[in-house]
Structure 1
Amino acid sequence: MEFIVTLLAGIPFPAPPTPVGWVVLVLLLAALIFVLIRQRANTQMSWGLFIILFVLIPVTTLFIGLRFTSASARPLPDLPADAPGSALMIFSAIPWLLGGGMLGPLPAALLGAFAGLIRGAWDSYSLFSIVELAFLAVCFSFTTRQRYRTRAYTLLRQPLFGALLLIPIHALFYVLSALFTQWGVDATPITARLDFALSNLGVITLAFGGEMLMGGLFAQLISIAFPARWGSKQALQPSPGEKSLESRFLFAVGAFILMLLLTLLIGDWVVAGRAARELLEDRLSSAGESASQSVPFFLETGQNLAVQLASDPRLLEATDDELRSIIGSRIQAVPYFDQFIVLDANNKDILAIYPPVDSTTFRLYPDEDSGIFLATNGVLTQIYSIPPTNTEESARVSFMVAIVDSTGQVERILIGRTSLESNPLTLPLIDSLNNMNDLGGAGMLLNEKNQMLYHSDTTQSLSTYNGQQGSEAFFYDDTAPDGTREMVYYQPVFGRPWAIVLKVPAQRAQQIALNIAMPLAVMIIVLAVIAMISLRVGLRVVTGSLQSLATEANRIAQGQLDHPLQVKGEDEVAQLRRAFEQMRSSLQSRLEEINRLLQVSQGVASSLEMQDAVKPVLEAILSTGANSVRVALSPEVLPDTYVELPSRFALGDAGELYAHFDEQILQLAQSQQKIVLPNLTRSREIDLDPTKPQPLALLAVALRHENRYYGVVWAGYEQPRKFSDSDVRFVTTLAGQAALAIANAHLFLNVEASRRQLEAILNSTPDPVLVTDHRNRLLLANFAAAAALGPNVDDDARSRVETEKVIKLK
């Protein structure tokens, strides 16, 4: 981490998107515009504050910050620049965060887009930063200005919490921009861009998190200091989860599915990346071990062949053509060496060369020249690596052997040279190294001086290897000259200070990981989408049923009980619909009962004639499904009059057919308030006459009023019937009305009988007699009074005219 005063020290480089990236950028821009249109009413524009924040953006974005570095961070592919987005500009987020909280989404989007333009040119090197920061500003504005009343949304309105929530969104945008931004001139593979994005994601997230922490703290202080200017002032309203069961369930389950989806995708990627790396490591280690095992055999074979030739005694005495013929025949016999040289050990003169070359221009290489001195001092066999004859070939290996006489004195030096590319024993080694080109990597053979004796890229031969070294085989990650990450395998050669080094770009591992993870990732995403769609459809069925039940409940509340509910299935919703239907039908029945009771009460109160008074009661009971309803009065309740009064009243198709039960039921009802017989054939309380018609079910209620027994009302049913409590309660209530009507009629009959007796007594008197009430109103006049006062005196008595007025008028 290093302190930086300004980003202006760098070169502005807003890299354009790839062809597919342009499509992604346009789609993101369209989504941003759509969101702004939806939120246009939530804007609280203040031009003065907007201009101040707009002017502050270049200052806060370009000056005062920190540059984060990490061992895992990588520079831009093919460009000598710092990792994009690794700068933490301490005050950069403050202007557009304040714009989001104080001005609204649209001003915040404009401020964020301007900040993204500057940041994209000097730090992130991508045009995606324009849309990204505009989108983040709109998200922050929405979270801080929303007016939902639940606890979670209240926490979202806090600027610090809302700012920190932008960190994972920025990480997603960063990976997206890295995948679809073309930084170099040549088209960089998507796997290289993916590896670059994942390698730098930690550092980028840390830098942006620091900016959000500083900006969120500042915005939090501003919201506390100026609450009237911060956020929206609209009234709190129910959140979507409060207004919709479907939304609440989708938010909860959707969040769980999203977390599960991310976990599975990340786990899938980690497992696939580990498997891909293991595959590459196995391939590299296999190739490196195979190549390293061929090197000792190659060197020992060359050394043995050279020693075998040097032990030939003819090499001590032969000269010129004879010596040239000896070494030439050995080259032709064993196709290992491509050149033999015989030197005089004392003066280094060339005694013979095969194939022949111009001896005047021939020179030994420095290692070979110093090796002659070692040979004369007892080092009889030596091996050196020497440069190729031209730049298009690989390095060569020189085998030096001392030719000694019988006394052990070094007389001559034999040098055998061979090329790595042409030697038959090194062909498998060369093929193993060249196979790295198929993976986009490189293979090399190092000598004891870390010089590249062979490189799959021939231009790198005899250059120096500067990577890590060790006595054991190992893997490590390195950065290639073009800035891309690469895997390196170092395999030392057993018994020799040589080594095999294999390099493969890390993007190859990412490509293998993509090939492994992509099918499973697509399947996981498809299953998640199907699960969400299925969940939404299933919830829509449930919430639709609940909405229809709410509609039915409103109808019931409004008194519309003539709309039956369709009940299908046996699940919880069906049970709820069935309960609503039972409630509706029960309430409808109850209201109908109340309506009938009202009609009965009106009928009872409208007449004092016993037959007319009990008729509404009989009709109401008959509506319950009875085919016969009867009222049987006790003989004691009927007054003694000169006119015979009826004591039985019936209604229904079988009203008179069941009259023979009246006496039995009268006797039973005198001792029982209610007689409920669901199946009359199984009852022992009533004697059945098989010769007469009889009902199969019977319900009877005694008629009592003020502890006086007036009779019984009973209903007969032609089929067995299980009487519910509501049926018994309804008939009992009707029986009470009937008892009241009969009691009133009984009182009226008794009073009427008394009046008639008094009228008869008064008419037998010759003197005029007037009967008045306590208000001196005329009630009754005998015949003598009628003769004296006129024939209309009875009408005056009926109209309750005062007695003085009657006399005065007459």
Structure 2
Amino acid sequence: MEFIGSLLGGTFYMPAPSALGWLVWFLFLGLIGHLLYRWRSLQPPIKGRAWGIFFVLLLLVLLTNLFLGAHLPSESALPPPGVPAEPFPPAMMIFSALPWMLAAGPLGPFGAAVLGGLAGLLRGAWDTHTVFSILDLALLSTLFAANMRQRFRTLTYSLFRQPLVSALLLIPLHVFIYVLGTFLTVPGQTAVRLDYALSNAGVAALSFSGEVLFAGLVMQVLAIAFPSAWGRSGPLQPSPSERSLENRFLFGTGTFITLLLLTLLIGDWVVAGRAARDMLRDRLASIAGTAAQSVPFFLETGQNMAVQLAADPRLLDASDPELSSILAQRMQSSPYFDQFIILDVASQSVLGGYPSASRATFGLFPEEEAGLSLAADGGVLIQIYTIPPLEPGEGAARVSFMVGIVDSLGQVRRVLIGRTDLGTNPLTQPLISSLAGMTGSEGAGMLIDDLGVILYHPNPGLVDTIYDGPHDPENPFSTHTAPDGTRQYVYYQRVEGRAWAVALNIPAWQAQELALLTAMPLSVMILLLAVVALFSLRFGLRAVTGSLRNLAVEADRIAKGNLDHPLQVEGVDEVGQLRRAFEQMRASLQARLDELNRLLAVSQGVASSLEMKDAVKPVLEAVLASGASSVRVVLSPAILPQNSIELPSRFTLGPAGDKYAHLDEQILQQVQGQERLVLSNVSRTRTLDLDPNLPQPASLLAVALRHENRYYGAMWAAYDQPRAFTESDARFV
């Protein structure tokens, strides 16, 4: 960790994002405006003392975001693509989150958003170098202030009111906005920008976590000590999940679905990235293995050819022009070498050579001078060295084969030097082609000698320079940061039997791009499924909650005594069954109330007159209202006085009149021994002796008239249409 006193020593710049970046930026700006408008009820009035607090916190924003911080170590962080500089991930300014968190209490969401936006402007200019930092901290401060000032009473919202918990919830949202903003700001290909954003996301998350956790601990203490400053004196209110069953299911199930699909997306990306990395590793291993296998054959062939030529006895005593003619014949017969030179060991003078034009410019390289001394003094007869290209800027180095020519006494008198260019040698053409083919993937293939000198590189300027990449044979596939800041995959393959090696590198964004192509279809499908699932859940719940809402309205009507509004009974599911139960309850209550009203009217009618005819009439009218065509009261002769000849014993009412009077005697006899007589279909009954020549009702209902076990007669109702009598009908009559 490196402590820093101020950010002002850094570079001040905020590059403009792409066109898509500006679109996303304004979408976030609109989101912040929407949230501030929606939570305007949480906003306290800013006046008087609040303005003083605002300006004090404004000064603190300037101080805490620019001074006193630290850079956290991060091996995975990358510099911006195409910039040859050290990585500079976001710094952790220890006190930077305190001002906008303090503003959440007395200044509310709007004041916190203004201070958060200013803090984001400072950090974006001197630290993160992205305009998204402005909206990032403005949005986070708005959410933090809303969490602090909301007064919902459920456990979840109670936890949200705790500053430390609310600060923890801001961390994943900040990481998402940071990755999105960085991806839309830095230049380069899609995979390069994504790789850069993800590589710096870890240290960005740690830095922000340190800031908000420190501020959250301070705010937790202040919130406990001064609860009124956070709007906590008001009464608790039902939360959105309590007000709506739909919201409760969406918050619960929707959160679960979102976490599940997010897990699937991350898993899809990880698996695709790993698969792409493995594919690249296998591809590089195949190319490197093939290239490395050709190196020993090339070296052994050159060595054998040089030894065979040195064994020619003519080379020991011949002189020019015969010596150069011998070398010319051998080179023309086998175009492996492009230069032959024979030196005298003692004087190091050139005795012969081919091509003849190269003798004028011939010179020994330091490696060859050392080899000449080894041949003369140490008796090392066969040596192989790598030397620079013939001309600077050529794409491949050369190889020098030195073979001592000995006399009969075993003394080295002369030395044969055969040189060949790796770029033109026929045996190295497959090797060079495979290494050069890496440029098609924007990578590079290199051939490296035992001293770490690059013998071949697609960039001629790097030939004959020292290789500084990974070179661990135990871990051939590794990650390396290129000088331009991009991340590379490097495969280092040692040549079997030699100290030479083949090194291949390819930009890591190739794997990211391959992973994107692999994971994108499944990711899009997962997102579409998430949207469909959430909409299906919402509309499915809306059907249920809509029905429940309608039932609540109907229940309110029933409670108010309004029973004239029938419910539409649809479906056979639980909601349909509930609707049917409500409709049955409404109809039952309505029928019962109608029955009570009729009974009340009957009671009032009976009590209003002492005449038998007038007293019976309300009763007959009440039964007639049930749909009967004729209602009759038949008194038993046993209760009539002997001298009451003029007293009426039968009373009738209805459009049918006395049409069914011939049934009076039979009904009088039937109900004397039972409380009621219910005949839903008179034509099929054997209870009555029906005369086929007389009209008969379709249904009838008769009850006995009793008082204190004394039988007075019967009242019965005749119906012209078949009727299924209910217990309520019989009880009413």
TM-score by length of 2: 0.94
Match of 1:252 in 2: 252
2:132 to 128, 132, 137: 128
Q: How does 1:401-416 map to 2 (within 5 A)?
A: 401-416=403-418
Q: How does 1:236-635 map to 2 (within 5 A)?
A: 236-357=236-357, 359=359, 361-376=361-376, 377-393=378-394, 394-472=396-474, 474-635=476-637
Closer/same/farther in 2, CA of residues 21 and 214 from structure 1, 3 Å limit: same
Distance apart, 1:358 and its partner CA:
6.1
Match of 1:750 in 2: none
1:94 to 95, 98, 114: 98
In the alignment, the residues of structure 2 paired with residue 562 and residue 242 of structure 1 have an alpha-carbon distance, to the nearest angstrom, of: 32
Long gaps (5+) in structure 1 = 732-810
Match of 1:775 in 2: none
**Cα offsets for 1:71-130 (capped at 9, x unmatched):** 222233344666555422221111101102321111111111111122122221222111
Match of 1:749 in 2: none
Q: 2:63 is aligned with what amino acid?
A: V
**Cα offsets for 1:501-529 (capped at 9, x unmatched):** 11111111111111111122122212222
Distance apart, 1:60 and its partner CA:
1.9
Q: 2:379 is aligned with what amino acid?
A: G
> Does structure 2 conserve the Cα–Cα contact (< 8 Å) formed by 1:84 and 1:125?
no
Q: 2:149 is aligned with what amino acid?
A: R
Match of 1:38 in 2: 38
Give the secondary-structure state (helix, strand or coil) at the position aligned to 2:391.
coil
In the alignment, the residues of structure 2 paired with residue 653 and residue 16 of structure 1 have an alpha-carbon distance, to the nearest angstrom, of: 94
Q: How does 1:186-265 map to 2 (within 5 A)?
A: 187-231=187-231, 233-265=233-265
Distance apart, 1:641 and its partner CA:
4.5
Long gaps (5+) in structure 2 = none
Closer/same/farther in 2, CA of residues 233 and 27 from structure 1, 3 Å limit: same
Q: Percent identity?
A: 59
Give the secondary-structure state (helix, strand or coil) at the position aligned to 1:362.
coil
Give the secondary-structure state (helix, strand or coil) at the position aligned to 2:414.
strand
Q: How does 1:92-171 map to 2 (within 5 A)?
A: 92-171=96-175
Closer/same/farther in 2, CA of residues 83 and 707 from structure 1, 3 Å limit: farther
Relative contact order: is structure 1 or structure 2 higher (C-alpha 8 Å, sep ≥ 6)?
A: 2
Distance apart, 1:643 and its partner CA:
5.2
Give the secondary-structure state (helix, strand or coil) at the position aligned to 1:228.
helix
> Does structure 2 conserve the Cα–Cα contact (< 8 Å) formed by 1:91 and 1:214?
yes
Distance apart, 1:542 and its partner CA:
2.8
> What RMSD in Å do the two structures reach over aligned CA positions?
2.1
Closer/same/farther in 2, CA of residues 14 and 81 from structure 1, 3 Å limit: farther
> Does structure 1 conserve the Cα–Cα contact (< 8 Å) formed by 2:371 and 2:383?
yes
In the alignment, the residues of structure 2 paired with residue 200 and residue 192 of structure 1 have an alpha-carbon distance, to the nearest angstrom, of: 13
Q: 2:386 is aligned with what amino acid?
A: S
Distance apart, 1:340 and its partner CA:
0.7
Structure 1 range deviating more: 390-399 or 83-92:
83-92
In the alignment, the residues of structure 1 paired with residue 80 and residue 621 of structure 2 have an alpha-carbon distance, to the nearest angstrom, of: 97
Closer/same/farther in 2, CA of residues 473 and 209 from structure 1, 3 Å limit: closer
In the alignment, the residues of structure 2 paired with residue 81 and residue 706 of structure 1 have an alpha-carbon distance, to the nearest angstrom, of: 113
Greater radius of gyration (CA): 1
> Does structure 1 conserve the Cα–Cα contact (< 8 Å) formed by 2:346 and 2:413?
yes
Closer/same/farther in 2, CA of residues 260 and 473 from structure 1, 3 Å limit: closer
In the alignment, the residues of structure 2 paired with residue 358 and residue 170 of structure 1 have an alpha-carbon distance, to the nearest angstrom, of: 68
In the alignment, the residues of structure 1 paired with residue 306 and residue 326 of structure 2 have an alpha-carbon distance, to the nearest angstrom, of: 13
Q: 1:388 is aligned with what amino acid?
A: P
Q: 1:115 is aligned with what amino acid?
A: A
Q: 2:705 is aligned with what amino acid?
A: L
In the alignment, the residues of structure 1 paired with residue 111 and residue 86 of structure 2 have an alpha-carbon distance, to the nearest angstrom, of: 32
Give the secondary-structure state (helix, strand or coil) at the position aligned to 2:445.
strand
In the alignment, the residues of structure 1 paired with residue 88 and residue 411 of structure 2 have an alpha-carbon distance, to the nearest angstrom, of: 69
Give the secondary-structure state (helix, strand or coil) at the position aligned to 1:411.
strand
Q: 2:450 is aligned with what amino acid?
A: E
Distance apart, 1:373 and its partner CA:
2.2
Closer/same/farther in 2, CA of residues 94 and 82 from structure 1, 3 Å limit: farther
1:59 to 53, 60, 63: 63
1:648 to 624, 647, 650: 650
Closer/same/farther in 2, CA of residues 473 and 60 from structure 1, 3 Å limit: closer
Distance apart, 1:131 and its partner CA:
1.3
In the alignment, the residues of structure 1 paired with residue 85 and residue 150 of structure 2 have an alpha-carbon distance, to the nearest angstrom, of: 41
Distance apart, 1:720 and its partner CA:
4.5
Distance apart, 1:647 and its partner CA:
0.8
Q: 1:340 is aligned with what amino acid?
A: F
Structure 1 range deviating more: 261-270 or 646-655:
646-655
Give the secondary-structure state (helix, strand or coil) at the position aligned to 1:353.
strand
Structure 1 range deviating more: 225-234 or 476-485:
225-234
TM-score by length of 1: 0.86
Match of 2:74 in 1: 70
**Cα offsets for 1:718-757 (capped at 9, x unmatched):** 45443212112111xxxxxxxxxxxxxxxxxxxxxxxxxx
Q: 1:43 is aligned with what amino acid?
A: Q
Give the secondary-structure state (helix, strand or coil) at the position aligned to 1:160.
helix
Q: 2:587 is aligned with what amino acid?
A: S
In the alignment, the residues of structure 2 paired with residue 80 and residue 498 of structure 1 have an alpha-carbon distance, to the nearest angstrom, of: 29
> Does structure 2 conserve the Cα–Cα contact (< 8 Å) formed by 1:631 and 1:649?
yes
> Does structure 2 conserve the Cα–Cα contact (< 8 Å) formed by 1:473 and 1:491?
no
Distance apart, 1:367 and its partner CA:
0.9
In the alignment, the residues of structure 2 paired with residue 642 and residue 278 of structure 1 have an alpha-carbon distance, to the nearest angstrom, of: 118
Distance apart, 1:332 and its partner CA:
1.6
In the alignment, the residues of structure 1 paired with residue 279 and residue 296 of structure 2 have an alpha-carbon distance, to the nearest angstrom, of: 27
Closer/same/farther in 2, CA of residues 595 and 82 from structure 1, 3 Å limit: farther
Distance apart, 1:336 and its partner CA:
1.1
In the alignment, the residues of structure 2 paired with residue 368 and residue 84 of structure 1 have an alpha-carbon distance, to the nearest angstrom, of: 46
> Does structure 1 conserve the Cα–Cα contact (< 8 Å) formed by 2:287 and 2:434?
yes
Q: 1:694 is aligned with what amino acid?
A: Q
